[in-house]
Amino acid sequence: MTLSTPIALPRADELAATLRGHLDDHAVAMASLRAQLPIVAAWGSELAARLLRGQRLLAAGNGGSAAEAQHLTAELVGRFDGERRPFSAIALHADSSSVTAIGNDYGYEDVFARQLAAHGRPGDLVVLLSTSGRSANLVRAAAAARELGVDSWALTGSGPNPLGDASDEHIALDGSAAGVQEAQLVALHLLCRVFDHRVRAHDELRARDEQRTPGGASGRPEASRGGRRGGLA
């Protein structure tokens, strides 16, 4: 097909400047994430402790943040970078029938809050992702989580913002929307890395305990009920 009007292509130097600008935005968001690594580490440890107790992770977002929320749940149900057991994690936006039914009957602002009411139990966790921190359906989900006894963690762009204020804990990343979204994915991978480390440490300790004899860590047999071990009665 021949175009009647030729497409004006950017000059090489303009394109290079655009790409450098994107990388600069990415660096800003990553620097912001690096400053909050202790929070990420604490989240990973707490997530492992709760899921090892049989509790559940719920996650939600809109658009690209929805994809990242589902990425997180897939890492937990599947695996991250090493073999381990699966854990219960649900991406609330992934159930298209529920999302469209709730959106149609109650409004899009309730698509996550109502699912939280169905799936959330006290002690569960919900991770809410938003580059703006202003998505009404996520803010409402955080409010619903508080009523249900589900702890909410928000991962957003620059704060303060309504979602961060409504959540129990909050990581706010500086930068453009694209830079923040890229850094959020790194944050989720770091979360999974801490999670896997804690789960493996727990499983190794449990395996060592199971290898011990009933007599305890020393490996010695238990004394008989008569009070003496061995010899003549």
Asked whether residue 68 is assigned to any structural domain, the reply reads yes
pLDDT digits 0-9 by tens, 20-76: 999 999 999 999 999 999 999 999 999 999 999 999 999 999 999 999 999 999 999
The two tokens of residue 104 are 């149609």
pLDDT tens figures, 134-154:
999 999 999 999 999 999 999
Measured distance CA(4)–CA(1) in Å, rounded:
10
- pTM value is 0.85
Is 219 a domain residue?
A: no
CA distance 87 to 73: 9
pLDDT value at 212 more than 90: no
Q: Which domain holds residue 67?
A: 29-201
Structural domain count of the chain: 1
Q: How much is the pLDDT for 127?
A: 98
CATH no. for residue 141? 3.40.50.10490
Task: Provide the CB-side half-sphere exposure for 77 (13 A, CA).
Answer: 14
Please report where in the chains the tokens 């899009």 appear, as a residue: 108
DSSP 30-56: HHHHHTTHHHHHHHHHHHHHHHHTT--
Query: CA 187, 100, 144 angle in degrees (round to 5)?
Result: 55
